[in-house]
Amino acid sequence: MAGKGKEKKERQKSLMDKIVKDPFLTDEELSEHFEVSIQTIRLDRLELGIPELRERIKSVAEGTYAKVRSISGKEIVGELLDIDLGKKGMSMLETDNSMAFEKTNIVRGQFIYAQAESLAIAVIDADVALIGVANIKYKQPVRSGQKLVAHAEIIKRRGNKFFVWVRIKLKMQEVFRGKFILVALDE
């Protein structure tokens, strides 16, 4: 047998790593980085089963398209239906499969929590830090596809400290309730 194959293995391992970390690299950029020809990179990808740049980008985009809009960067998780700044507000969240356990279709708590928290923040209308939460309760599991309506109400204010009650209903049934204690950070 011939061919050290050590460099190759190391390069391929490192290549896999690099592409996982940054799927936006072209073969050309990769070939410059590893100081091998483009063809070598392509052979490596072939052997490793790594798809071409455009396919990688596409799957990143597809995998995240529906999900992201519901949580994460957005100010309000769900859709703001009604708001009376400093007093109360209402939001609606249409749950979908991406928020749920695959097998059971039961929506993960974090999404329900995020709807509640973001609505609580919205009614205060300021950057806030969450200091305390108490009396949270998930009363019923929610299945994906169901529409959740959240009501938030500021029940007390002490200086820059707000006490907000949030109730989330599925049709007429309450599925979540929680009390948030928020501290406004406005300078």
Partner DNA sequence: CTTAATATTAATACCAGGTACTAAATGTAA
Partner DNA sequence: TTACATTTAGTACCTGGTATTAATATTAAG
Binding residues for a copy of itself, rule: CB under 8 A, are 23-24, 54, 57-58, 60-65, 67-68, 70-73, 77, 98-99, 101, 103-104, 106, 108-110, 113-114, 117-118, 127-139, 141, 185
Instruction: Identify whether the C-beta of residue 166 lies closer than 8 Å to the C-beta of residue 91.
Output: no
Binding partner at 42 among a copy of itself, DNA, none, C-beta below 5 to 8 Å by kind = DNA
Stretch that binds DNA, among 34-42, 96-104, 111-119, 145-153 (CB under 7 A): 34-42
Q: What is the largest CA-CA distance in the chain?
A: 79
Binding partner at 129 among a copy of itself, DNA, none, C-beta below 5 to 8 Å by kind = a copy of itself
Instruction: Identify whether the C-beta of residue 157 lies closer than 8 Å to the C-beta of residue 165.
Output: no
Q: For every residue of 110-143, which 3-state class applies, written as one string? A: HHHHHHHHHHHHHHHCCCEEEEEEEEEEECCCCE
Report how far apart the first and last C-alpha atoms of the chain are (Å, whole number). 71
Footprint of DNA (CB under 7 A): 1-5, 7-8, 11, 26-28, 35-37, 39-40, 42-43, 45-46, 51-54
